Amino acid sequence: MKGYLGIDIGSISTKGVVIDKDNNILASEYLWTEGDPMGAVKKLLKVLEKQLDGKDIEIVAVGTTGSARKLIGVMTGAVTVKNEITAHAIGTTTLHPDVKTIFEIGGQDSKIIIIENGFVVDYAMNTLCAAGTGSFLSSQAHRLGVSVEQFGEIALTSKNPTNIAARCTVFAESDLVHKAQIGHKKEDIIAGLCKAVVTNYLNNIGKGKKISAPIVFQGGVSKNVGVKKAFEDAVGQEVIVDKNGHLMGAFGVAVLAKQSGKENKFSFDTAEINFKTTGFECPKCANHCEIICVFKGDKLIDSWGNKCDNGAVKIPK
């Protein structure tokens, strides 16, 4: 059976999905990037290979997305390398063809995608602050002495959510500490943080956007039932959370790899190969471009970063 591998490599988490020709998920994994995208993908490949053990599956095409998509695309010989907006839109419309609005909150970024008749017509991403993202919620959970997995359930027990200022992580943390010191209940503070995440998102990422149902909420934060409820309270509509919503970027780029009609020679033995990168600043003109070179063993396999031919690095054939 032919299989198609999609990898979503982000700053916080790395996701992988293997699908068949009918878009059924055959294997999937979600793990932490930990500042080492190549190392994270090697771990990912080993887990996916183990899940497929005993199944007659041949990976014939790979697609990559996420912040390290180009690097991992070179490493895996990907036939498709796409941005997160495209990958999430394709993944979501494949499973929810009538979707009109996609809310997505990841580890350090947030995005909104507006869809009409199956096509992306508008989108926005956060460009500066990570307030309201997964890393923000994780740090606040730690500060409050609860696990981030418990966060949403605790929020649902609140009858009087605390107002928390969350336009900036520094202000949010200060406000949280202040509210705790003056006697606000922990569950009310947690519910207030969930509400603040949603308010921040709608006032910044969603500002000026036409938000229409059906609405699909995805990314790691979508698993937080407190944030899901806060979204529903704010927009007055049901918000759908797919069980595979945290994998949607990887799923979408796997679908795109399949649709490309291209095939590449891929082996899970890639996890055992020594890849490394080096960087240098090109001194040959005023641009001072930072050139990145990728090596497979001792062989240079790709490079990028130059804005002109002066900094071009010749790839041996």
Convert the pLDDT of each residue in 131-145 to its tens digit.
567 777 877 888 888
Q: Is the pLDDT of residue 70 over 80?
A: yes
3-state secondary structure of 155: helix
Tokens read off for 236: 């007055």
Q: Is the pLDDT of residue 64 over 80?
A: yes
- Give the whole-angstrom CA distance, residue 243 versus residue 253: 18
Dihedral angle, C-alpha 203, 143, 36, 102, nearest 10 °: -30
The answer to whether 152 touches 140, Cβ cutoff 8 Å, is no
What are the Cα distances from residue 106, in Å, to 92, 133, 134, 220? 15, 6, 6, 6
Nearest CA to 115 out of 131, 96, 133 is that of: 96
Mean pLDDT of 111-138: 82
The answer to whether 99 touches 112, Cβ cutoff 8 Å, is no
Angle between helices 186-204 and 225-235 (to 10 degrees): 50
Q: Within its chain, how far is the Cα of 248 from the centroid?
A: 8
Q: Where are the domains of the chain?
A: 2-90+250-272, 98-240, 275-311
Instruction: Write the class of the CATH domain 98-240.
Output: alpha beta
Neighbours of 65 (CB within 10 A): 32
CATH code: domain 2-90+250-272 is 3.30.420.40
Q: Is the pLDDT of residue 128 over 70?
A: no
Tokens read off for 28: 């999937």
b (16+ CB within 10 A) / e for 155-193: beebeebbebbbeebeebbebbeebbeeebeebbbbbbb
Q: What is the pLDDT of residues 154-177, one digit of tens each?
A: 989 999 988 887 666 667 778 878
Q: Across all residues in the chain, what is the average pLDDT?
A: 88
- Give the whole-angstrom CA distance, residue 157 versus residue 150: 11
Mean pLDDT of 247-272: 93
Q: What is the pLDDT of residues 22-40, one digit of tens each?
A: 999 999 999 988 888 999 9
Nearest-5° angle of CA 270, CA 258, CA 315?
Answer: 45
Dihedral angle, C-alpha 226, 231, 234, 236, nearest 10 °: -110
Q: Is the pLDDT of residue 270 over 80?
A: yes
Residue 304, pLDDT score = 76
The radius of gyration of the chain from alpha carbons, rounded to an integer in Å, stands at: 21
Any idea which residue has 């519910």 for tokens?
A: 191
Residue 298, pLDDT score = 83
